[in-house]
Structure 1
Amino acid sequence: MALARGRAAEVADLGALSWLCDEDVPEGQAGPFAGVPLLVKDLGGPFAGIPMRAGSAALQGRKGAADSDLAARFRAAGFRPFGATTVPEFGLSLSSEPQVGPLCRNPLDPRLGAGGSSGGSAAAVAAGIVPLAHATDAGGSIRVPAASCGLIGLKPSRGAIPGGPGFGNHLGGIASEFALTRSLRDARALWPCLTGRVRGPYPDLAQLPEEGRFTLGIVLDTPGIAPERQAAVETAARVLEAAGHALRVIPAARLDRIRRVSARGFDRIISANLAALGDAGLDLSLCEPLTQSFANRGKTLSAKDLWSALEAGTTAAHALWHLFEEVDVLLTPMLSCAPLPLGAFPTDHADPEAQLHRMDTYAPYAALANITGAPALTLPVGADAAGLPLPVQLITPIGGDLRLLSLAAPLEALWTHPIPLFGGCA
């Protein structure tokens, strides 16, 4: 814990942490991660005593009153939560620059953003403060920061991670919680600590076979993808082919409708959710202009329009399942270009459409995994000329989380993080 606190102080100018406990945190329970310090995203299921302010002035001063089921599982695994990480207000950006501060920088190049909305968690792990950090993903919020900072980012299958007791159907089921890690090993070790025996009306999610010879659907012609980012997909494909898997090219056009439907569903769900928060007492006048605009859209959204978007999301999920009758895993670009400079995703405007367009252009295959419920994994498979990570994304049917962690193993050796881990296990 002392090493983690010391490293946090050394890199405080990165803005990764929005809050740090000023008291010593008691030893965690015995478990596979006993004593490991943990940082908690300032957006998601609550951790008792940790601020949950969603990067917003409207929620300043609030702390979790009790642990969510997920928080209790983190503690039972032995983690010691000692701080909260920076997020954009209500997660409405792919860069973590809330107006209430701090502004979160990328440890690989402080001129760049660390991604969003789990940008603070990614920056903390990439800077070596902790070996892993809690994160959430409703439209790429685990995977975009991982891709920006050279980390492992798994967005779990819908239903794999508990969301209770009061967080079960937040955002219509598109949000998942897990962590950002430095290694596949840590993600795999964390998995059984957070999954299984989920309370609620649904049974535990069965995992698909993780070993075998799989057919990979490779997406090589996505418009607007920088050449070196597209080449990274080809590199990953050849490595996996050498490991015994088959390749099949999937035209990007086959995913266009799923992408469009996913973007629309994300928009409607987020807008309706923020409008509901306003009706529940959130003082929207204290929120950033972009948040207010999304909430205003939600207030004018008809039930028919919302239902249409949700129904289309189900249709998109069916279309993806049909694609998985031909291939076992999709391999896509994660980001269209290198991590963007700070300020590339402003929130001081009232144009949700512009923000959604920026997000979709930057991470074109992110939201479709959320809308369809499929698990998705991003990891770097090399570096560009500037030393920044070249990430790819793997997507497989619901229940294929462990398949992704196993399948990606040959790719992990293609990238070594340049910043050592300082706060690891002390």
Structure 2
Amino acid sequence: MTESLSFQVEFGKFNTRAQKVSFGPGIHVVYGESGTGKSCFIKKLAEMKTDSKVNFKISKVSRPEKYQIVFQNPDNQIVSKTVQGELAFALECHGTDPDEIGAWIQANKQSLPPAVDLSQNTAFLSGGEKEILNLVTAFQLRPSLVMIDDGLSFLSIENKKKMISLINTWISDYQTVVIWLSSERNDLSLGDSAWELSLNKFERIKAPQESTYAPIRIHKGHLDIAIKNLKYEFKKNDPIYDDLTLELTSCRALGLAGDNGSGKTTLASLLFDFLQPEQGTIDISIEKVPIGAIGYVDQFPENMIGLNTPAVLLSQLIDAGLFNEQKKTTFFNRLIRFQISWDTIAEIPGSRLPWATLRTLLTFLLAHCEYDVLILDEPTFGLGWEQRMKLRSFLSDYLIQGHIIIVSHDRDFIFSICDQIIDLDVSTVIQNSLVTYV
């Protein structure tokens, strides 16, 4: 029997009339800017309790009994120390025969990236690898409904298309309804139906249009990086880098691009001096002077702030002499462009702030500090198209004097603002002709 999802949605402030919506088997993409309530939308469909204030009300939900949610933060879903343990966990909880579990793992391990080993510690997986693992486990109990909360946003476009092909296979086998909430507008063309959630409506998009960045001009930079004979490995005899040698000069904005698991964040951590190479050297300088302070916005921003509040973090940066108090008003005003009020979020623990809000807050906060280089790891995650455009505009202003390194699966964003790019898939430096100099 084929099951469907149906519900009513209404926006009380704008339209008192309830809209009836029904989804059958297939991939239904729902695009929304950050702050429109995508995560809350899923929770309301699952009839979960939420304290978030949103502009819509969902009622009369008719939902298949067997459903799974793929959370925005992949760490929130992973419970086992190893990949094999994670693949087995749900099946073990349902009393599946051990031989069947082993057979299922062997049959489905090919759905994971080639670099992922069954014995691998899940803590050492990249963000994209964690997402793929979570998607595979979400379908292992043959659910009739899967709701994905920005769950493919760490994936490169190649891996995203592979996962969609795999999901379509599962849909064919299990007749699954897939609701995919996304902050990437171009994802609208990847589903069987396309929808947009805004602050005042929920509507179907008949013919999704591709979003592209306009050309940009930036100031020529002074950042030099020399990587010589670099070797680094998390697993013995399985190096992420082995004798990597690269050199770039006069860079203003450096992009680190590559497939999921290619080592983008690892290289950023080595540049940041958070990790130490096992062999080789990394030299970073600006105008031939070795750099001092480097700012780093983690791809998992809660790691930077934990249970502290933004107010505590700001105070720590001021005490460390990194944040100039005279820039406070400018910093607060720039947050408002992203609908973030400092007075509203200053005393909320970072772990309780929405991911996109926390990431944007930390990006702007560190950009107003006295760093020689600012590293941004997945800065566009969770941001809709309009917000990405605003972020790009802000970064172009920052680049008048500052230097940045952007780590991202989002090649469109990297190529729209970075004058040089290290492509880790081919271990080479690209001079980006799409970005010109003032």
TM-score for the superposition, normalised by structure 1: 0.31
Whose radius of gyration is greater, 1 or 2? Answer: 2
Higher normalized helix content (fraction of residues): 1
Structure having greater relative contact order (Cα 8 Å, sep ≥ 6)? 1
User: Which has the larger share of strand?
Assistant: 2
